[in-house]
């Protein structure tokens, strides 16, 4: 049966010392691989290699926002991707105009061999290795024969966004970083799977609010209001690394469907109709 494979390459919050930073791949039935966020350092391709993914098989990056734990792995993903695929297509980077501006500043500061322009980035051979695709909340883009992505604004920092990916008849929604977000609830309606961040439990509501993140109850409420089939919590902070059960227990107070907590290299398969 055709299915969408979801692989968590990084599941840690920004200050995590136990997990790689946020990155998730979706492998759609039409062969499209979607990377949600770029983690930091070399985590994406290091962990991808451990589950048998080849660097040249990455094609689209959907970036939620321009915090370091979500975007700073991009220059090294580009380096490995372009070397593995010397005559291949550039890596397609989809995000808000503000996040793409930050990506360009990051590349400028860390990758002097790249030449940047309004279309993307070229390497020292003049080959295009990155291509920018600015997108605003509510817009959709086609990624593959039967794979589309729609972004929606969330409540975290300026121009932060979440993504809904529709492929092969199922929808997977990724919150990015956000407080409880009514626009996420709208965008996630009827989705097969909601991947939602959970920074803390209600015991640290004040801490979550201060950094514009969700508690597990916020994630459970969003899942219930949107009527999704399954909830996976990610972006896990240090206090919950060894025992994430309190996050699951709290989300289950609001959402009756299956709830789990991702860990690095966690894989789930979602069957398509
Ligand atoms: Zn984050
Ligand atoms: Zn953030």
Distance in Å, CA 125 to ligand 1 centroid: 34
Which of the ligands is closest to the CA of residue 158? 2
pLDDT at 168 over 90: no
The domains found in the chain, sorted by start residue, are 3-271 (3.60.15.10)
Residue 150 — pLDDT band, cuts 50, 70, 90? very high
pLDDT at 105 over 90: yes
Which of the ligands is closest to the CA of residue 37? 1
What pTM, to 2 d.p., does this model score?
A: 0.98
The first and second tokens of residue 173, run together, are 């929604």
Residue 158 — pLDDT band, cuts 50, 70, 90? very high
Distance in Å, CA 185 to ligand 2 centroid: 19
pLDDT at 1 over 80: no
Distance in Å, CA 22 to ligand 1 centroid: 7
The whole-angstrom separation of Cα 219 and Cα 10 is: 19
Distance in Å, CA 263 to ligand 2 centroid: 18
Distance in Å, CA 270 to ligand 2 centroid: 27
Distance in Å, CA 179 to ligand 2 centroid: 10
The whole-angstrom separation of Cα 118 and Cα 172 is: 30
Distance in Å, CA 67 to ligand 1 centroid: 6
pLDDT for 207:
96
pLDDT at 175 over 90: yes
pLDDT for 273:
81
Residues 243-255: tens digit of each pLDDT: 999 999 999 999 9
Distance in Å, CA 212 to ligand 1 centroid: 10
Residues 21-41: tens digit of each pLDDT: 999 999 999 999 999 999 999
Residue 73 — pLDDT band, cuts 50, 70, 90? very high
Residues 196-237: tens digit of each pLDDT: 999 999 999 999 999 999 999 999 999 999 999 999 999 999
Distance in Å, CA 176 to ligand 1 centroid: 7
Strand 193-197 relative to strand 230-234, pairing: parallel
| Residue 19 near residue 241, CB atoms below 8 Å | yes
pLDDT for 211:
97
Residue 2 — pLDDT band, cuts 50, 70, 90? confident
């Amino acid at each position: 049966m055709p299915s969408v494979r979801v692989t968590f390459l990084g599941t840690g919050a920004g200050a995590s010392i136990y997990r790689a930073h946020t990155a998730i791949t979706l492998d759609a039935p039409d062969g499209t691989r979607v990377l949600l966020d770029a983690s930091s350092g070399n985590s994406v391709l290091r962990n991808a290699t451990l589950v048998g993914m080849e660097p040249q098989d990455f094609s689209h990056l959907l970036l939620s926002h321009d915090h370091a734990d979500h975007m700073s792995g991009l220059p090294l993903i580009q380096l490995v991707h372009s070397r593995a695929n010397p005559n291949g297509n550039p890596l397609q980077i989809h995000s808000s105009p503000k996040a793409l501006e930050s990506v360009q500043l990051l590349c400028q500061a860390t990758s002097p061999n790249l030449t940047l322009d309004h279309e993307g980035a070229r390497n020292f051979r003049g080959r295009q290795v990155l291509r920018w695709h600015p997108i605003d909340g509510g817009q959709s883009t086609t990624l593959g024969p039967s794979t589309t992505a729609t972004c929606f604004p969330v409540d975290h920092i300026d121009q932060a966004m979440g993504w809904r990916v529709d492929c092969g008849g199922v929808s997977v929604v990724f919150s990015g970083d956000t407080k409880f977000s009514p626009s996420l609830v709208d965008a996630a309606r009827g989705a097969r799977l909601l991947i939602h961040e959970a920074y803390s439990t209600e015991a640290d509501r004040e801490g979550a609010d201060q950094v514009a993140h969700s508690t597990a109850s916020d994630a459970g409420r969003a899942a219930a209001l949107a009527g999704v089939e399954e909830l996976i919590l990610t972006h896990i902070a240090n206090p919950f690394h060894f025992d994430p059960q309190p996050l699951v227990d709290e989300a289950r107070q609001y959402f009756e469907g299956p709830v789990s907590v991702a860990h690095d290299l966690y894989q789930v398969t979602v069957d398509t109709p």
